[in-house]
Structure 1
Amino acid sequence: MTDWNGTDVEKIAAAEELDLASERANGTLRDPVTMWVVRSGDHLYVRSVKGTDGPWYRGTQTRHQGRIDAGGVSQDVTFHPADPSEYAGADAAYRKKYGHYTSIVEHVLTDAARASTLRLEPR
């Protein structure tokens, strides 16, 4: 596991949204998808509102790597399924960062969304 550069993790975590492009089997990148990103501790997380059935989430499962762009940072990453013990921290981060979107934030706090929680690690 590679740790984030402190400045990069802060910039990404502060960004309102993140663009994520997962790698296809042939190594090319899919079109990026815009989503929310949160930080809990020293880790960055993303989730699919549609859970593990979400198209972008399924795309991350081909090679478990891709590229993200957020806060002026472009970084190749590895997608790691978060352990269920990490869900509460990610939940709290989503509530804190996006809680002002009252009617939307609850969609990333469902059991289905939690099951799709991916920890982003630089590579």
Structure 2
Amino acid sequence: MANWNDADLERIAAAEELDLASERSNGTLRDPVTMWVVRSGDRLYVRSVKGSDGPWYRGVQSRHQGRIEAGGVRVDVTFHQSGPGEYASVDAAYRKKYGNYTSIVEHVLTDQARTSTLRLEPR
């Protein structure tokens, strides 16, 4: 597991949104998708509101690699599937960071969204 440097971790976690571009099977990047990003401990996470049916989430599955950009940081990453043991802390991070978007934040707290939780690690 690769670790984030403190400066990049702070800047990405503080950003309101993150742009994620996954790699196609031929190594080229897909168009970036804008989404929410949260920090739990020293890890960064994203989720698909549509769960595993979300188009960007399906795109991530071809290579489990891509590029993110947030808070002025652009970095190549690996996407790792998170397990149920991580869901509660990620839920709490979403509630804390995006709780003022009451009607929207609930969409990333469903069982469907939880199963699409991905941990981002720098490459």
TM exceeding 0.5: yes
Partner Cα distance (1:82, 1:8) in 2: 21
Q: CA deviation at 1:58?
A: 0.3
Partner of residue 53, structure 1 = 53
Partner of residue 87, structure 1 = 87
User: Are 2:47 and 1:24 equivalent residues in the alignment?
Assistant: no
**What is the RMSD computed on CA atoms of the aligned residues?**
0.3
Partner Cα distance (2:87, 2:93) in 1: 10
Unaligned residue ranges in structure 1 (runs of 5+): none
Q: CA deviation at 1:83?
A: 1.4
Partner of residue 65, structure 1 = 65
Runs (4+) of structure 1 moved beyond 6 Å? none
% identity of equivalent residues: 81
Q: Amino acid of the residue matched to residue 80 of structure 1?
A: H
1:61-117 per-residue CA deviation (whole Å, 9 max, x = no partner) reads: 000000000000000000000111000000000000000001000000000000000
Partner Cα distance (2:71, 2:87) in 1: 24
Partner Cα distance (1:77, 1:83) in 2: 19
Unaligned residue ranges in structure 2 (runs of 5+): none
TM-score, length of structure 1 as denominator length: 0.99
Partner of residue 44, structure 1 = 44
TM-score, length of structure 2 as denominator length: 0.99
Partner Cα distance (1:17, 1:74) in 2: 13
Partner Cα distance (2:62, 2:9) in 1: 25
